[in-house]
Amino acid sequence: MRHAPSSSIARASTALLTDRYELTMLDAALADGTAEIPSLFELFARRLPDGRRYGVVAGVGRLLEAVESFRFDDAQLEFLRAERVVRPETIEWLADYRFTGNAFGYREGELYFGHSPLLTIETDFAHGVVLETLALSVYNYDSAVASAASRMTSAAQGRPLAEMGSRRMNEIAAVAGTRAAFIAGFSASSNLEAGRRWGIPTMGTAAHAWTLLHDTEEDAFRAQIETMGTDTTLLVDTYDITQGVETAIKVAGPKLGGVRIDSGDLASTVAAVRRQLDALGATETKITVTNDLDEHAIAALQASPVDSYGVGTAVLTGSGHATAGMVYKLTSRENADGTWTAVEKASAGKAHRGGRKDAARRIGARGRATAEVIAVEKSAARDDNDRSLLVPLITRGVPEQQHLGAAGTLAAREHHARALEELPANGRRLSRGEQAIPSIFE
């Protein structure tokens, strides 16, 4: 009997956001009687992206919602039937699919390292195997963006960053990426859907098209001021920056909120604009810079009088690492006698450690992390200085509400800020290096 969706589910089905082989494995498992074997699946990264010192977990709240929406409707089932993806008996099984198992793992916003057990799915083989692609697509992209955004936040040294990359990304990923960047410390976004869905502050004033629409730059600035007030930010580099700054203060007065620079050699240009603004009496007018920034460009501007940054392409593409390289593996299965067997892949370069994992962040006397402890079939925390990392995410099919929605997104952002404070002194360096702390198996 097919179940009606619960009233809490108002989202589109995620059931076909998967690879065909997930369903063909399910089909074979139902045929040979292994579908109901209790199993543990684990999502982790074998290593950090090359040269990175830490990663940031993101996508947890999104995945929990996606699992709740993993339902096969009539149209999807008809597609599977027409394409002969699985047997008719499996079509009937999928019609009633509901994830009723458990999931536990790292909190969103947490730091991770090589082999950190980020997500464990506890269910039978059939219900767990079909979630592989969905879980990886969410975690791999969101964590890549959050990891890049965290590096940019560190490089900005407390100056605000706004995410402005929607036009460089497909429309669905843009919303997800904006959320990940916010979790990792960005303060605002140009993306309105991300603001509506996740409670992220939005920002934006005008592009070069606005200036080019008018007969003169002064006309454009005057119209913008009349509409938005003097607290707005004027884009001053459509023509000549020096003239643009002079015109901006002429129109708005010395109380102008800000100017934005989107071209040129930013270090020298920002210094010149700051001197010019101060000479014009606009000492409180802020300077925002954009122009294809990444963490290295932001770091190069640390000594410049920049007040805020706008980052687009680099943050939503992971700044050189568009995926976090995570994998999803079966790590343990129950035997007929009720005991469990750890299972692990032995392929060269792709091996993984089997068994049920626990994890803890080992904290030194000065409050700095010294190791990522991963324990197999036992507790990872030894003493009060070990911070346990695993929390419940789904309990008997019900997502833990504290991870969801705008509130969950804000909680993840706050947790990330706390987790960053635990890194040792070299942990935030942008230069290539080994992970900030070692991963230790016990």
In three-state form (DSSP H/G/I as H, E/B as E, the rest C), the secondary structure along the chain is CCCCCCCCCCCCCCCCCCCHHHHHHHHHHHHHCCCCCEEEEEEEECCCCCCCCCEECCCHHHHHHHHHCCCCCHHHHHHHHHCCCCCHHHHHHHHCCCCCCEEEEECCCCEECCCCCCEEEEEEHHHHHCCHHHHHHHHHHHHHHHHHHHHHHHHHCCCCEEECCHHHCCHHHHHHHHHHHHHCCCCEECCHHHHHHHCCCECCCCCHHHHHHCCCHHHHHHHHHHHHCCCCEEECCCCCHHHHHHHHHHHHCCCCCEEEECCCCHHHHHHHHHHHHHHCCCCCCEEEECCCCCHHHHHHCCCCCCCEEEECHHHHCCCCCCCCCEEEEEEEEECCCCCEEECCCCCCCCCCCCCCEEEEEEECCCCCEEEEEEEECCCCCCCCCEEECEEEEEECCEECHHHCHHHHHHHHHHHHHHHHHCCCHHHHCCCCCCCCCCEEEC
Q: Once rounded to an integer, what is the mean pLDDT over residues 94-99? A: 97
Q: What is the pLDDT of residue 6?
A: 37
**pLDDT given at position 320:** 94
Q: 8 pLDDT band (50/70/90 cuts)?
A: very low
| Model confidence band, residue 333 (pLDDT cutoffs 50, 70, 90) | very high
Confidence of residue 299 (pLDDT cuts 50, 70, 90): very high
Name which residue leads in pLDDT, 51 or 133: 133
Domain spans, the chain: 20-130+325-441, 146-316
Report the alpha-carbon distance of residue 179 to residue 173 in Å, rounded.
10
pLDDT average, residue stretch 315-333: 96
Is residue 163 pLDDT above 60, yes or no?
yes
User: What CATH number does the domain located at 146-316 have?
Assistant: 3.20.20.70
20-130+325-441: CATH architecture: Alpha-Beta Barrel (3.20)
pLDDT over threshold 60, residue 408: yes
pLDDT, one tens digit per residue, over 177-233 is 999 999 999 999 999 999 999 999 999 999 999 999 999 999 999 999 999 999 999
pLDDT at 9 over 80: no
Task: Find the mean pLDDT for residues 6-23.
Answer: 79
Closest CA to 342 of 330, 350, 351: 330
Mean local confidence (pLDDT), 324-342: 96
> Distance between CA atoms of 166 and 78, rounded to whole angstroms?
34
Q: Convert the pLDDT of each residue in 65-94 to its tens digit.
A: 999 999 999 999 999 999 999 999 999 999
Provide the percentage of residues in the chain whose pLDDT is more than 90.
92
Name the token pair of 292: 């294809």
Give the span between the Cα atoms of 396 and 74, in whole angstroms.
Answer: 26
Query: Which residue matches tokens 């040269």?
Result: 51
Query: Please, what is the Cα angle at 130 between 198 and 108, to 5 degrees?
Result: 30
* Average confidence score pLDDT of the chain: 95
This model's pTM is above 0.85: yes
